[in-house]
Structure 1
Amino acid sequence: MSDKAARSYTHASNRVKARATAERKDVYKSVLENPFRIQWPSIPSNAQNLFLATLVTTLESAARSGSRRSFKAYARKALPRSEIADPVEGTNPSSDSIVCSKPSACAVGSTPSPSLAVSKLAPSGHMTIGINEVTRRLESQLKSVRHSVTLTTTSHANPVVPDISPISAVFVCHADVNPPILLDHIPHLVAGCNSTRPGSNPLEARQPLKLIVLPKGSESALAQALGLRRAAVIAVHDDAPYLPIFGDMLQSVPVISAPWLVPPIQPNSPKCLIPTHIKQLRTTAPKDMKAAKEQRAKARVAAKKNGVKPRPKKCLLTTAKPDA
């Protein structure tokens, strides 16, 4: 989220012909806001800090617990295929037999460091990291909910059960992303996943997807815990073993949804209209409108005298009807 709500541009124009410095005044124009807007959830600052501390602690503990497992997987992957077979009874494979796939990774006859193994393999496979990756995952989850069904007289339509683990919570470093428009689509995707009619899909028993906004400076802390350069968005899957840690805190996060995507349960239910929101756009206008119009008319006459080609007149092309 930017520090300023609006930015003023006061630099000179790059026009070939400078605009006349006429006296101007500030005016406000009323503009209708888009009714299909979804606001970011309102989370107190203390709750944001608690979410950040818990998430960083969870990532660090997952990295420590998975370092040994990741090191074994990385070492087994680095061995040639002929040496992956089970060792002969009575012999122990030495660490000197591990061969790195890249010469720059480690020297000959040395073992790869556990930190390299952890960086090659993610500390946890129950999350999605990155703006693009989380966006694709949310789109896939939304597509699995909004499936098309063809009804026939001989067969019954079976709901399509997604083969991927759904997302349960999305953590966004909104204050650290510049420009913020890069994240404006995430609330709409989350609201689309939550705006499903109860009883119309197999995901009705699951908890709603929560969107959590983290405080400013959280991206660097998350990136350091993950060993990455950037981590602006992190999505935690529904089958993550550490998801119950956030259970009590997620209860206080409001659920965002798109009410216009939810069909009414009863056909005669009253319609809920979104209140009209009018924005005031600040701009400038000449103080003397009559003088400004006369000046523009004189400029057009002068342009014609200087040999400026007039615009071609519009002509209406018609086709003659054949005689009967």
Structure 2
Amino acid sequence: MVPPKKANVDNSTTIRAASRNKQRSLPSNRSTDGLFGSSSGTSLASSLSSLFSPQPHGKDAALASLLASSSKSPVKLGQASSGLAAYGSFTNSQSQPSGISTPRSLDDKLKDKRKGVATKVDISDSTPSTSKATKDETTFSSSKQVAEDASTPRDRVQKQTTKSASSSTSTPVVPNVPVGRKPVFRPVLASSTAVSWPEMPIAGSKTILHALIELLAQPDIQAILHRDLGRRSRLRSAKCAEASPAADEDNIDGAASNPDRLAPQQVLAGINSITRAIEADIARDLEELQAQDVKQKAKEAQHAGSPSVKVVFVCRHDVPQPMLVAHLPMLVSARNAVLHASDSEPTSDLTQRVLLFALPIGSESLLAKALKIRRASVIALTTAFTSARLAHILAAIQRETGSVCQLRASWLETAIRSATQSPHYPHWLPPLAQQPTSIKLLRTTQPVDLNACKAAKRTKRKQRAASWRKHKMATLQRVKDLQAQLKASRKRTATGTEFTAATTFSHV
């Protein structure tokens, strides 16, 4: 009897093969919805939950695994506080899957599969609206960011202003006090007789510098500069200073034929020459104030036409040693005080006073190039300068700086007026008001126990003196020892010489 043939079964269509193929074709990418990985059917949470639930066997198990893998229902791990609910160690009903408590039939799983498909459709339908809302929110946030960026400079300026105001009103930073010392405040009395440099605005000082350079660059002024600041002019002035007045009177007729020789000096350059010129002006004005006899008045009237310094330009920031020009503010103040005492009526006109103008940094090289000399730290214009151009430069100074360049010392003016009681002095003028006393506090430190500190200093001085005396005695003793050694060596040398001489004589 022929055995019946076995039926040909396609292994690729069986339930087990379908289950294996489905498990092999599952995607390997994981989502971050849960705490332990993906929310798909083959996630770690579903694998762990299957350990605690009864599993079917045979074909039912294969069909159940196929349906579970195809449905891809999300596994809820509960709240953030119950992250370990997938291990089954918690009894919270919200964190446990529904398939763990009771086994489900195949019909229930098919119903759940249909519900999952419907849920996916609803989620896909609502995705465009959600993405649209997200897009609108992103657009709104970007427009808001653009608006904030557009208003950033103004807000930044306001923040900086507020910060600077708060920093200016805040208390200053106090340094740490060393150990064993305490902070103290010592009063410092400001000197009312000190005259400081005028504070010049940067823009105004640059304007005056350019105006001065343009003035000195004109052809007729260049001829004056060559006459006043040239090498021959310096030699001529030195020879004139050495010559006697009698020789000058004898040669006055010959000099009248040369107008350049008798022309007064209009421009001065150099610290020493300008200092001598201002001192000579002060001495001449004081002689005029104290003149009493007719001969002296006639002599002063004869010298009244001599030029005097009108405005002084100082490159104080370019001078290597500031002490070289530190005397100029006080000197100009003294000159103005003498002029104030000489006036019959008080005036605030700049043309009646000597001005001191501090030029900005880097102006020395420009002035030296304009004057065609090697260095020009200080220059001055006298009253013999062209009146129109001198008035132009004085008007520019008054326009840019006001009366800042007109240095005055009220105490010096009062002293000169009280010392020169002459008919030229108006007694009806009220006395000048003095400056109020200015007292500042200097923060410093001193030892906490001042007596102990003084005692420690005395002890250190005694120890230093004792150490010095000890060193002195040791040095003297060493000198004595060296002298004794030298004396002994000399004695031994003399004894050896005598013995040698005696031996030689005995042999002879």
**Could you report, residue by residue, the CA deviation over 1:271-301 in whole angstroms, capped at 9, with x for unpaired residues?**
5222112344565533442331221232244
1:96 aligns to what? none
CA 1:28–1:178: 2 relative to 1, 3 Å: farther
What per-residue deviation string (whole Å, max 9, x for no partner) do you get for residues 228-277 of structure 1?
A: 22111110011212313313213344122222233274479455222112
Residues 265 and 384 in structure 2, CA contact (< 8 A), matched pair in contact too: no
More strand by share: 1
Deviation at 1:31, TM superposition (A): 2.5
Change (3 A) 1:305 1:58: closer
Question: Are 1:58 and 2:219 an aligned pair?
Answer: no
Equivalent residue letter for 2:323: I
Between Structure 1 and Structure 2, how many residues are aligned? 234
Q: In the alignment, does 2:322 pair up with 1:177?
A: no
Which runs of no fewer than 5 residues in structure 1 stay unpaired? 1-20, 76-123, 310-324
Q: Does 1:158 align with 2:297?
A: yes
Q: CA deviation at 1:138?
A: 0.7
Describe the shift of the 1:298–1:137 C-alpha distance in structure 2 as closer, same or farther (beyond 3 A).
Answer: same
Structure number with bigger Rg: 2
Asked if 1:244 corresponds to 2:391, the answer is yes
Q: d(CA) in 2 for partners of 1:42 and 1:219?
A: 18
Q: Quick one: distance in 1 between partners of 2:184 and 2:373?
A: 48
Q: Please state if 1:276 is matched with 2:437.
A: yes
Provide closer, same or farther for how the CA distance between residues 227 and 158 of structure 1 changes in structure 2, counting only shifts above 3 A. same
In structure 2, the residue matched to 1:225 is 370
Q: For residue 175 of structure 1, give the secondary structure of its aligned residue in structure 2.
A: coil
CA 55–62 in structure 1, closer or farther in 2 if over 3 Å, else same: farther
Where do residues 13-52 of structure 1 align in structure 2 (5 Å cutoff)?
Answer: 24=181, 27-52=184-209
What is the CA–CA distance in structure 2 between the aligned matches of 1:304 and 1:25, rounded to whole Å?
A: 30
Structure 1 contact 150–157 (Cα < 8 Å) conserved: yes
Indicate if the aligned counterparts of 2:336 and 2:408 stay in contact, CA closer than 8 A: yes
2-side partners of 1:63 and 1:23: how far apart?
A: 72
In the alignment, residue 293 of structure 1 is paired with which amino acid?
Answer: K
Amino acid in structure 2 at the alignment position of 1:246: I
Amino acid at match of 2:341: R
Secondary structure in 1 aligned to 2:341?
A: coil
Deviation at 1:52, TM superposition (A): 0.4
TM superposition score normalised by structure 2: 0.40
Q: How does 1:47-196 map to 2 (within 5 A)?
A: 47-62=204-219, 66=223, 125-147=265-287, 149=290, 151=292, 155=294, 158=297, 160=300, 161-162=303-304, 164-195=306-337, 196=340
Do 2:186 and 2:443's aligned partners in 1 also have CA atoms closer than 8 Å? yes
> Would the alpha carbon gap of residues 62 and 277 (structure 1) be closer, same or farther in structure 2, given more than 3 Å must change?
farther
1:130–1:156 CA distance, 2 compared to 1 (3 A): closer
Letter in 1 for 2:329: P
Amino acid across the alignment from 1:143: A
User: 2 CA distance for matches of 1:135 and 1:299?
Assistant: 51
Aligned-residue RMSD, C-alpha: 3.8
- Report the secondary structure of 1:39's partner residue: coil
Q: TM-score, normalised by structure 1?
A: 0.60
Partner of 1:234: 379
Residues 22 and 286, structure 1, Cα contact 8 Å, conserved in 2? no
Identity across matched positions, percent: 29
Q: Would the aligned equivalents of 2:291 and 2:297 in 1 still touch at CA under 8 Å?
A: no
* Counterpart check, 1:197 vs 2:347: no
8 Å CA contact retained: 2:410, 2:432? no
Q: Cα offset for 1:134?
A: 0.8
User: SS of 2:317's equivalent?
Assistant: helix
Letter in 1 for 2:204: A
User: What secondary structure, in the 3-state scheme, does the structure 2 residue paired with 1:146 have?
Assistant: helix
- Inter-CA distance 288–63: structure 2 relative to 1 (3 Å threshold): farther
Q: Which residue of 1 aligns with 2:15?
A: none
Residue identity in the other structure for 2:297:
N
After superposition, give the CA deviation of every residue in 1:167-186 in whole Å (9 maximum; x if it has no partner): 11111112212332322211
Does structure 1 residue 210 correspond to structure 2 residue 361?
Answer: no
Residues 296, 40 of structure 1: CA spacing in aligned structure 2 closer, same or farther, 3 A cutoff? Answer: closer
Tell me if the contact between 2:313 and 2:357 (Cα under 8 Å) persists in the aligned partners: yes
Unaligned segments of structure 2, at least 5 residues = 1-177, 233-263, 419-425, 471-508
Judge which range, 290-299 or 22-31, deviates more.
22-31
- Distance (whole Å) between structure 2 residues aligned to residue 219 and residue 268 of structure 1: 42
C-alpha contact 1:173 1:232 (8 A) present in aligned 2: yes
Q: Corresponding residue for 1:4?
A: none
